[in-house]
Amino acid sequence: MSSQQRTPVGHETLPFRNIGLIGRLGSAGVVETLKRLMRFLDERGLHVIVEDRTATVLLDHGHPEASRRMLGELCDLVIVVGGDGSLLGAARTLCHSGTLVLGVNRGRLGFLTDISPDELEERVGEVLEGHYEVEKRFLLDAELFRDDTLVGSGDALNEVVLHPGKAVRMIEFELFLDGQFVYTQRSDGLIIATPTGSTAYSLSGGGPIMHPRLDVLTLVPMFPHTLSSRPIVVDAASEIRIHIGETNQTYPHISCDGQTRAVAKPDDVLVIRRKPQTVHLVHPVGHNFYEVLRSKLGWSHRLGD
């Protein structure tokens, strides 16, 4: 079974008791939605725990606080209010506990945060009553080695990117999949994207859109020197090894979900593998991936609609 399986859940599910809240900082709209959400959950007699960083923008909220990692240990469900970036950050921590994660969209596109503020009480209420689906999404682990010594690491739900940082120089590197040599490439870098990340940075780089249930990765060259370099799709269980060329005049950066995690030197080796843990995303019943694509990407509707 794919590591991104979808599981329908019905009324027989034990009710949620402890609900964690995480919100994007610096947004008045997020604060307003969080306050609405707390009132709604309080009225239902649920135990609400607020992430400690989120609590800094919720003065006198009257609920216990905990770190993001502790929310995963204490809560049955964590609700993230913000954009996809907010959910990505929460997912990287909460995957370790297997806690269910539900997103309320207060960002732009909202591929992962699929409840709008206008339907907050209705949709969250349905989830609390057991009407929801769970989708497991896998993540990536990235490790940078220098002379066989680990010098940097990170994890990602969307993508791991090798890029030149602020320098305007091409990177030369060798790519190996499961120990087999694939190619030597000169380009601005390489995007290694999960199906979840196929609608993010990879899409901007010309990568394919992949259904979330696929158990694959896509490798997308960034402005390659040769026109024959094209994105390739590989098994998600593959070990990806990138050997930074010894003659590079720049120090490539390794970013995970848009955050720089390490800076490589010539002759370093970047190793990327599928993470053992998965994140458990909650969707309202009837969630449709293709409907989301039509809505977010402006695709045409059916003839006659």
pLDDT tens digits, the chain, 305 residues: what are they?
333 444 444 444 457 999 999 999 989 999 999 999 999 999 999 999 999 999 999 989 999 999 999 999 999 999 999 999 999 999 999 999 999 999 999 877 778 888 999 999 999 999 999 999 999 999 999 999 999 999 999 999 999 999 999 877 899 999 999 999 999 999 999 999 999 999 999 999 999 999 999 999 999 999 998 888 999 999 999 999 999 999 888 899 999 999 999 999 999 999 999 999 999 999 989 888 999 899 888 888 777 76
- Give the type of residue at 44: R
CATH class of 6-137+279-297: alpha beta
Residue 3 has a pLDDT of: 39
Helix (DSSP H) and strand (DSSP E) numbers for the chain? 7, 18
3-state secondary structure of 114: coil
- Give the type of residue at 82: G
Residue 168 has a pLDDT of: 79
Residue 196 has a pLDDT of: 97
Whether 84 is a known active-site residue: answer yes
What is the C-alpha to C-alpha distance for residues 294 and 139, in angstroms, rounded to an integer?
Answer: 25
Kindly state the helix (H) or strand (E) to which residue 281 belongs, with its residue range. strand 269-284
Convert the pLDDT of each residue in 199-222 to its tens digit: 999 999 999 999 999 999 999 999
What residue ranges of the chain are covered by domains with CATH 3.40.50.10330? 6-137+279-297
Identify which of 181, 152, 112 has the alpha carbon closest to the alpha carbon of residue 251: 152
What residue ranges of the chain are covered by domains with CATH 2.60.200.30? 139-276
3-state secondary structure of 147: coil
Residue 14 has a pLDDT of: 52
Strands 253-256 and 259-263: antiparallel
CATH topology of domain 139-276: Tumour Suppressor Smad4 (2.60.200)
Tell me which of 42, 52, 60, 84 is the catalytic residue: 84
Residue 305 has a pLDDT of: 65
Strands 47-51 and 18-23: parallel
Convert the pLDDT of each residue in 234-283 to its tens digit: 999 999 999 999 988 889 999 999 999 999 999 999 999 999 999 999 99
Tokens 């682990």 belong to which residue?
Answer: 141
Strands 65-66 and 47-51: parallel
Strands 6-9 and 77-82: unpaired
